[in-house]
Amino acid sequence: LQYALLHATGYDVSIEDLKNFRQLGSKLPGHPESNLTPGIEVTTGPLGQGVANAVGVAVAEANLAARFNKPDAPKIVDHYTYCIAGDGCMMEGLSNEASSLAGHWGLGKLILFYDDNKISIDGDTKLAFTEDVSKRYKALGWHTLHVEDGHTNVDGIRNAIQEAQSVKDRPTLIKLSTIIGFGAPNKAGGHDVHGAPLGVEETQLAREALGWQHAEFEVPQDVYDIYRQGLTEGAKEECKWAADLEEYGNKYPREHDEFKALMDNKLPDLDAVLPIFTPGDKGLATRQHSQTMLNAIAPSLPGLIGGSADLAVSNLSLVKMYGDFQKGQYEGRNLRFGVREHGMAAICNGIALYGMGLIPYCATFFNFTDYMRGAMRLSSLSHAGVIYVLTHDSIGLGEDGPTHQPVEQLASFRSMPNTLVVRPAGGNETAGAYKVAVANRSRPTLITLSRQAMPNTPEHTRMHCTGVMRGAYIVREADSHPDVLLMATGSELQLAYDAAEDLSRMGVQAQVVSMVCWELFEEQDQEYKNRVLPPDVDARVSVEASVPFGWAQFLGAKGRHVGIPNEFGTSGPTAKVYQYFGITVDNIVKAAMEQMPQ
C-alpha cells in the first residue's frame, strides 16, 4: 500500500521498482525501511511499532508547535499525524503502552485508522482476540469512531477524518470494518490472503469482480492526474509557508534562528559547555555525572527532549531548566513515560525520525532494556539517533540482586549492528559519552552508567573526552614497551589502574587501556589501534563486571577475563559482590602474572 501510494503521488518509486518488490537489492524491501525508500517515514515491520512511532511524531509536532507558533503565526508547525494499524498491532502490548500515553497527553492531532478485518496469521481473531478495541481506546482517553464499510463508503471515511480533525483535546481512533482480500471471490475473508499472492486465476477473478480493466502495473493517466495534484498544490503551500516563515523571522528573530538551526540539524561545539574533572574532584557515580552532562548541554541543544520510564529520580535524567511535557503544556521537554519501557523507546524512535533537529533520549535501568529491545533494534536498523541513558549498569547495584543486575546486556548490545555502546569511567569519560551520542545522528548510542561512585582517573586532561571519541585510549602508559595490557571499562577501570601500579612495583610494565566504546575503536585506523593495543603483546587481561563474551577479539589466545563467569549476579553489598566474583585488584594482578614468562 505504501509503495503504491508513493509511486502514485510522485515519489522516486517507479513501476520498475514496484515490479522488483522484495527482490535482492530492491529499494522496496519486504517491510518498509525509512532509510531505504523515499517517502517511508519510519521502519515498522514488527507489529505495534508504527503506532508508537506515530505517537512520537505527534509529540514532536506538539512540542515544536508550542515552542515556535505565535498567535499571529499559528502555522509554523501545524500538521496532523496519521497511522494505519491492524488487528495484530492492537494485540501487541506496545501499542497499548503508546496509546495510553497519547491519551494521557491529549495528542489531538493524532489520528489512528484501525483496519479491523478480524484476521491474523493463524486465522480468525476470535481464536485469541475478542475484546472491544474501541471501548479500550475510549478508556485510554481517545475519541473513537466507526465506519462500518471500510471499502466503498468513501464519504463516511472522509466525514470521520473531518470529525477527528475537529476534536482538539484527544487523539482519535477510526475503526474501519473491512474484509481481507476484498474482491477476491474465493479467498476474501480468509487468513491465506494475509501473506501469500492470490495466484493468477484468483487475481483475474478479482479484477472482474472489481471492474478493473487495466493490465498488470498499468496505472491510468486520470489516476496519476488526481494523485499528483498534490505536487502542484503542495508546492504552492510550501511557498506560502516559506513566506510566512520569513515574516516570522522579522517579528521573532530569536525563535526564527533557533527554528532554522533545528531545521538545518546544526550541532554546537559541546567542548565549550562540558565540564572537566581532575583526580582531586569528588568521585561520583557516572549516573550523577550523566545528570551534570544532560543539564550542561541542554541550553546549547534546543532539540534535546526526553525522559525516563518512571525512574527519573534514580536515572537522574531530568533537565532542570525545562518543564514537563503534559497535556496543554507541550513546550516542556521532560517526557514522563511511566512504567512503559518499550513504548518509551519506540516513541523516541518516532521523535528521532521526525527530524527537525530533535535529539530524543530515554532512560531506565540497563537490565530493563530487555523490555524495550525490539524498539532499540529498530533504532539501529532505521538509523535513528536515539540516546539511551542506562543506569545501574552492573553487579555494582548490589542488594537488588540478579533480577536487576545486568551481566549479559553489554555483550548483547555490542553484537547489534549500527549501535554504539559506551561505558564511561568517571566524569570526563561521561562527558565524552555525551559528545559521542550527540554527534552520532544516524545510529543510537547506549550510555551505560554506574550506581556506585568511582574516582576520576589520574590522567585528567581533555584526552578523556577525545579518547572516548576514538573508542579506546591509553590511560596509563608503561615506562617502556608493555609486558601486559590491562583493558577495562566503566567502574572497573580504576581497578585496572591500581593493578598496573602494583605490577609496576613488581617490575612488570603494564599498559592500561580504557575500552570505553568498542564500535568506535574498530573504526580507527590500524596504526592507532596498534598503538593502543600493541599486537606483539600477548599477555592481556580484560576487566569488566560482565560475562566474557566478546572480549576474545581483544584478548587473543593467552588473555584472561576478570569479570562475571557465565552466570547471573547475586544479592549483597556492592563490595562483597565484587569480591564474590573475584573482580579485585589482586585477581587482576594474578591474571597478569600467570601470563608472564616463568
- Give the strand pairing for 387-391 and 445-448: parallel
Task: Cell 475473508: give the residue.
Answer: 189
- CA contacts within 13 A on the Cβ side of 503: 34
SS3 475: strand
Distance of alpha carbon 367 from alpha carbon 412, whole angstroms: 12
For 437-441, the CB contacts below 8 A with 24+ separation are 437/361, 437/385, 437/387, 438/267, 438/270, 438/297, 438/301, 438/359, 438/387, 439/267, 439/469, 440/385, 441/265, 441/267, 441/359, 441/385
DSSP state of 452: S
Catalytic, out of 97, 341, 492, 519 = 341
Cα 566–chain centre separation: 28
Query: If 0-12 CB within 10 Å is exposed, 13-18 middle and 19+ buried, where does residue 22 land?
Result: exposed
E-only strand ranges, 289-414: 304-308, 334-336, 359-365, 387-391
Residues in the chain, overall count: 598
341 part of the active site: yes
List, in order, residues 6 or more apart from 306 with CB less than 8 Å away: 317, 333, 334, 335, 348, 360, 361, 362, 363, 387, 389
Report CA-CA distances (Å) from 239 to 10, 81, 170, 263, 515: 19, 22, 31, 16, 51
Distance of alpha carbon 12 from alpha carbon 187, whole angstroms: 33
Give CA angle at 500 (496, 505), nearest 5°: 150
Distance of alpha carbon 42 from alpha carbon 50, whole angstroms: 7
List, in order, residues 6 or more apart from 543 with CB less than 8 Å away: 486, 487, 488, 492, 493, 495, 496, 499, 561, 562, 563, 583, 588
Distance of alpha carbon 484 from alpha carbon 478, whole angstroms: 9
Distance of alpha carbon 154 from alpha carbon 132, whole angstroms: 24
Query: If 0-12 CB within 10 Å is exposed, 13-18 middle and 19+ buried, where does residue 344 land?
Result: buried
Active site residues: 341
